[in-house]
Chains A and B, each alone.
Chain A
Amino acid sequence: MYDILNVYLENGLRVVMHKIPHIRTMACGVWIKQGSKHENDENNGLSHLVEHLMINIENDSNPRFKNLINEVSSEGIVYNAGTTKETTSYFFTGLSNMLEKCIETLSTIVIDNKTFSNKLIENEKKVVSQETISFYSSFNQIIERTSQALWGNVGVGRIIVGNIDNINHAKVNDLENIIKNSYTPENATLVVVGGIDYQKTLDIIEENFSRWKDTETRNYKEIVDSEPGIYFNTGGGGKSTVISIGFRAPSYMDIERPNIDIISKILGDTSLESRLVQEVRMKKGLAYNIGAFTNFYENRGTLGFTAVCSSESVNEVVKIMMDEFHKVKTKGFTEKEINRVKKVLETRTLLDLDDLTSQLKFLGKCSSNGQLFSLEQEIRNINKINSESLHKTVQEMFAEEKMGLAAIGNCDIDNVISLLKFN
């Protein structure tokens, strides 16, 4: 049995707890619905900067946090934070006897941080700028660029690290506004998993989070571009090109999600068995880096297939990728392929079940998306997948009207797009 307790405090804060019997460890975290999709052209990147500042141990404006974070660190608590397109999260993992201190620390992060000194902001701007420059200097950005191509430079198409100029020119007011408008109890979820007692944990939470004032949250309506598009940058004219063929996919909560994960793995998993690795790398030696990825959000998702190759080989690689998509549409997958990948996904999910931080993040993500289910349910969904359901998903997904393209490198983009046809 997998029990999840979901309660709301009077101020609107959602609390999700999952008790795992017979263990002495716990993980807890707060998820705020504030990510790059909530930003605009002028403040794209600032949610991420705020995240850095909120958890900065040099923040003299919040002495209580400074003391608490030193205390929990010295007791071996591991903490981290993250910004995605949809959320900003802060989380702690450690022994269950530190739960109270961790929840208190979380409360000081999200409730007591209202502003920051100029000195702290200027220093963190440099750090975040460096992180951002590293991101934009790597082919790894292709995953985000694919979402940008598919959904536009709005909503979930916005890049998390954002615009370097926005970061460099950020003012204290810009950051305070993000906190004021989105760090509210009704816009947050507190998740606790591990060796916990529900009532005691709830008492601790109430004691620390009831003081969070129920202020108004900014209004947000998600917008994306009407049609999938293209991202292309010559990337300084190097010898390599990274290319990503993307498809608009359904949301995190959609019943098709496990199917899309299976499709991505059979076709483009980095393991040597996947079809694209076989065809592009093993048989033709055209690329070393071949991959596939899925990103699922509250209202939509992205499926992408990537390859890094020499600029001269791009056309050939794209032809092979399109041929494989055609084959899947017409001939489907073999039972052997399906069963192998189902086992891979099941194993990955079971490994996540044994990892408290993974469980915490899973519950944080699905509760932020408005629904709760367990990792065991994930396994049940994976096991239900069969060739018929995959065939249906493939027919829906692999269509020109859902396709977009991201490419960085010195390739002939006109030739590339002429190859991307299903009909």
Chain B
Amino acid sequence: MPKDKSLKKVMVIGSGPIIIGQAAEFDYAGTQACLSLKEEGLEVVLINSNPATIMTDSHIADRVYIEPLTPEFAASVIRREKPDGLLPTLGGQVGLNLAVELAEKGILDREGVRLLGTPLSSIKKAEDRELFKKLMQEIGEPVPDSRIVHSLKEAKAFAREEGYPLIVRPAYTLGGTGGGIAHDEEELMEITAHGLSLSRIHQVLLEKSLLGMKEIEYEVMRDKKDQCITICNMENIDPVGIHTGDSIVVAPSQTLSDRDYQMLRSASLKIIRALGIEGGCNVQYALDPETGKYYVIEVNPRVSRSSALASKATGYPIAKIAAKIAIGLTLDEMKNPVTGKTSACFEPALDYVVVKMPRWPFDKFTDADRTLGTQMKATGEVMSIDRTLEGALMKAVRSLEQGVIDLSIKRLTGASIDEIKEEIEHATDERFFAIAEALRRGVSVDEIYEMSRIDRFFLEKIQNIVNMEKRIREEELSPELLRQAKQMQFPDKVIARLKNTGEEEIRAMRRQCGIVPTYKIVDTCAAEFEAETPYFYSTFEQENEAASEDKPSVVIIGSGPIRIGQGIEFDYCCVHSVWAARDAGYRTIIINNNPETVSTDFNTADRLYFEPLYIEDVMAVIEQEKPIGAIVQFGGQTAINLAQALQQRGVRILGTAVESIDAAEDREKFDALLNELNIPRPKAGAARSTEEALQKAKDIGFPLLVRPSYVLGGRAMEIVYNMKELKTYMEEAVEASHERPVLIDRYISGTEVEVDAICDGREVLIPGIMEHIERAGIHSGDSIAVYPHQTLSGTAVEKIVNYTEKIALKLNVKGLINIQFVVQDDHVYIIEVNPRSSRTVPYLSKITGVPMVDVATKIALGRSLEELGYRGGLMPRPDFVAIKAPVFSFSKLRRVEPSLGPEMKSTGEVLGIEKTFEKALYKAFTASGLKVPTDGAILATIADRDKPEAVNLLKKFYDLGFTIYATAGTAKALQEAGVQATAVNKVEEGSPNILDLLREGKVDMIINTLTRGRAPERDGFKIRRAAAEDGIPCITSLDTARALYEVIETTAIKLMPIK
């Protein structure tokens, strides 16, 4: 029982949508924390706007509010629930900021809610740069010379004293948003201005550069008895200068002597004590390898991305224990959940090496600036564990799923040595590969060290991998050499390629020599005590600890790192699938490599294999576990992509057959299927060459929707309007995926509709139909989706249901199917069929009350809908509206085009639930971070194509009292329609122009539709970028704008003159 008896009900704040810098780790932390509090008999109230999370499941907390994370909504929840305490440190920076606001506004005091765990003063001391610096000086901990500035003038003055480069860090932002390294005055002005605008308290820290020093982090915990422990330390392979979220990280530190290790550990304990934190915190250091001096860079007084990583790296559940500390328990009275016997008050000892690699979105955002700095750009990460660092690095690389399974990438093989060196010096996301390539070409470790400041230890490890490539190529492949290569985790395919032989031959040789992976347990204690955790990793060693068990098992394939198009939703699905399979009586085994997630919590499945989702690794687990089959429909495209290869190797795919998956994904087979079922789809074709594409285009007619086959999230998808655009596209896209044809569809402008259904081969259950606000052409993942459907005719709904049933039954789907339609009046066309779980499943499951993954999993395991208590058909409409809105991370990715189109760009989503459409939409907009304006100024720049429609809409905004600014053409059209729009200069027309207007803060919202071409020099792009960076809402679809108008119109109080 909690030591603090006065606590009965506790409120937890979640972290909201996934954005760069704040990903699935907070679902993991939040879920653990909620369960941990319930375990102590407390009633838990949760607020989180992100529906795609396990933590918002009804059984995780006692009361779940999927509401916008604003002080207003949070205050309403507090007033209604009257919790005794509020736990602010588990919802990332968003949760922490919200808690601070609630406290500062006096809401917590007024409602008698105590802030649990870390006191408000500590949060402020850690978060406020000035207070933090002062505290560090008081306790004698070194901090780099720095100055807090509130203006550009102050920034210039500091630069005059200290010189360049300077690091710019805005206060109270996350993932380093708005920060950067300024090498000269121009850069300083730009970054500082941006940083000041983003900081909640208009404060920016300028810091003397610690570039090139070792970057080390410690995860520390403290309880109310002042007992302190460190859970883990981590060393960034990339020295200071690259955000830790964008760095390759190893745990524990590898190049620190015991003295250095203990020096920083002692400092961490001193800092957490000085801050008075009760719970967990993260301390980051720069360590100068030359002088041995260190500097404290930053402290996060909360659970963080690093703590999730540390939890998975060590097995020590930080969030779970932190939650218990917050309600008064102490470390010494808790047991280490891993051993079940020893104390939780100890420090994990690792007997393996952990590598974390970031997953960047540059495969999607090809225009983005790929250089790395203090602004985090990665959307997700992978972790790997092995007994050798070489092995862990190799496993991490293939876990990234970027088509690379060793340290060579094609682009660099063809690059000049100068280009490679340039990339090593000015790090990009592919620096790691550039280093390998440089070593391959004989550049010395010393030279690379000079360029990169990466410790020689790490460089020599990469050298070892490169040397192994050479040895395999040049020497006879003896069993000894093969074993060594496998200990470095060279995939069979790579060894075969280097040896010019077949993968099967290598595999056979391995079998013959008994070189097979062994599995070891992550046990927090380096085998000193017996562990109860079923948390395994592979390595090539003597002893295998994964004992076989008799109970039939099922393998669930996870979804890997979070990336654009494949987010936390799929982890949600995997976790539910595990629970369902266990409920159905099976031993559950999950394979995944994303350290942020709930699926890789060792409590989720009966066995967790922390492994790459690469066929060789997955097959090895399957050979070890001998399951009855594998479930692939929940792990997104990652798992689906493995289906065929698994089946070829004799693994039974549970649920929908591989042939059906193929029939839906292979364009020609799919066309044949639709023809047979007499279901219309937009005219379409497939082309393997530019010539073929141009030929097909003539038959189909423009506009066309073009994209490569077998992709997720609409990667490299585009609408083209003429032959020229098609030709340009083909030349880019075919390059992108030459193994597969490019798909060419007639583009139909209509309402986009999405259905997720469950089929058992006999009946089809449709929990709901979702209608998109934005018309077809904007990726479904970036559209606002409304449930239930609002504008469809009865005939259209009937057709949708009918088509869904026909397709699901024809494909003999055993589980989930997702179908996207485009509806033009009563005509319904099929756009896409995915015989797997989709991004909307968590959201739909929550709002319809149908546990879709649970039902689908049980069907995959042989049950029927009827047996599970469900019937086929469309479920009745509810008496509320639930709207999912996308959330973007454009402010963090420079040069990325923020306009919406067929390529998915959002990183997360939020949900708004209310009685009416407008109110639900208001909540969805608010939750997504858009402050719905009730008055102010709109800047409109509209493509000619959209002018008639836009003028109509802008007039309505004008009538509501908005001021309208527009560029000449648009202004003229508006004036003709009776709107007194103010014309503004385009950029090339000279100052004052549009950008000046934005900079002066005169615009509250932008409506901008896209003219053709993606060339970044266009005005439209500059406007959108300026909006993204300055946080001005920028709406690029007239449909979104119209929806927003409806919300404003409903809530606006209008003047009604009586005479």
A complexed with B: no
Interface residues of A (CB under 8 A from B): none
